[in-house]
Structure 1
Amino acid sequence: MNLLEHFKNLFDQHELWEDEITLKRYEYLKVQGAANTNLYYVISGSLRAYIIDEFEEHTIRLGYKDNLVAAMVSFITEQPTNLYLQTLKKTRLKVMSKARLMEFINADADRIQAWSRFL
């Protein structure tokens, strides 16, 4: 079992997911200038992370079924960023706040070590 599967199973076993949302095709999960400190698990669908410079869009990451997705810089710094997260088709996501995640991770030394390896 890889670390992604390990954490997904732990999150499910401990019922850490706080919400489940469904977004339509091309709907935004995060827009430029906003902070987003949630962690998402893609149940179905797909999304992209992109930035816009003065000339064009640059897709920097894709998220698919069974992936964990976050606006990583915003997740870590808790500050707004220039990143957009947009669905590419209808997408269902499980949602967990950073506060809940970090409380769970920091409660156990083995989890801290595994989370560090995962990142």
Structure 2
Amino acid sequence: MNPSDLIALIETNHLVEKVLTIERNAFLKTAGSIDTHIYFIEEGSLRVFVVDGEEERTIRFGYQNNILVSLDSFLTEKPSEFVIQAIKKTRVRVIPKKGFMEFLHQDENHLKLWVKILEDLVIQQIEREKDLLTASPKERFERVLKRSPILFQEISNRHIANYLRMTPETLSRLKKS
């Protein structure tokens, strides 16, 4: 079983509580709120960010067929400073934590799948941290392009540049070279 199987399991086990449509630039989650839902993105794109003084710092993106969650709030059931905003009109399936946790504990394979997904997420975050701390803008761009080429089709340069911690002009130069 691999992480892509989770989507099929969500469907088969009727874990979706509702479907939401979020208009472009509208917020799915705001800073300081508790959000224990898992979101499966049917169409559109979302970004997760935090506000650092006057600046927004993009942490993650989600687009069609991705699962997105405010993981800290999901795990602790406490407020999170993460903001989730629609970059374009987006439709998500909402999976509540309670039903999801019951589903996980029904079968050891479900729990193993969830652990695998969390492990993959931790590895992705470690790689991202390492990139931001040690890699040049060119290296960061190349690694993201290799890891997620669809990102450049789904997300605007302005948001990608923010995610990569560079100016839009630098990103534009790197894309041309």
The number of residue pairs the alignment matches comes to 118
* Identical pairs, percent: 36
Q: Could you say which structure has the higher helix fraction?
A: 2
Report which structure shows greater RCO (CA 8 Å, sep ≥6).
1
Moved over 4 A (4+): none
TM-score by length of 1: 0.95
The letter of the residue matching 1:112 is: L
Q: Which residue of 1 aligns with 2:146?
A: none
How far apart, in 2, do the equivalents of 1:2 and 1:63 lie?
Answer: 19
Structure 1 position 11, deviation (Å):
0.8
Note the aligned Cα RMSD (angstroms): 1.0
Q: Summarize deviations over 1:30-61 as a string: whole Å, max 9, x none.
A: 00110000000000000100001114110000
- Distance in 2 (CA, whole Å) between partners of 1:110 and 1:44 is 28
Q: Secondary structure at the match of 1:88?
A: strand
Distance 1:57 1:91 in 2: 20
Greater percentage in strand: 1
TM-score by length of 2: 0.65
Larger radius of gyration: 2
In structure 2, how many angstroms separate the alpha carbons of the residues matched to 1:16 and 1:52? 32
Question: Does 2:116 correspond to 1:83?
Answer: no
Distance 1:84 1:118 in 2: 22
